[in-house]
Amino acid sequence: LLRQRLRRDLWQFVIWIGGTSMLAAFTVSAVNGSYGTETDRVNLLATAAANPVIMLFRGLPSGADLGAFTGFLILPFLAMMAAFMSSFMAVRHTRADEDA
């Protein structure tokens, strides 16, 4: 049963994973272009740390190097995409079971 569902959802998984990977890759190049110096990243992190709403949704920054800064910026979007994917898959399977 699990194999059948995975086979049926293969293309959706490929599209979701590909889209998420492209978002991450484009974000890394955009962050490198926009915030190329560590001083720019430190200034933005100081501004973000002063705002409690940003800290609520993004969490504590773990550093100003390129990887940690990119993770700080992209994590909410990746979590939202994972939530959408899970919701769409669950609705699809429960609606298909209702019609059967």
Q: What is the pLDDT confidence band of residue 99, given thresholds at 50, 70 and 90? A: low
Mean pLDDT of 41-54: 91
Q: What is the pLDDT confidence band of residue 57, given thresholds at 50, 70 and 90? A: confident
- What is the pTM for the complete model shown? 0.72
pLDDT tens-digit readout, 25-38 = 999 899 889 988 88
pLDDT value of residue 58 = 87
Q: Which residue ranges make up each domain of the chain?
A: 2-99
Phi, psi of 38 (to 5 degrees): -70, -25
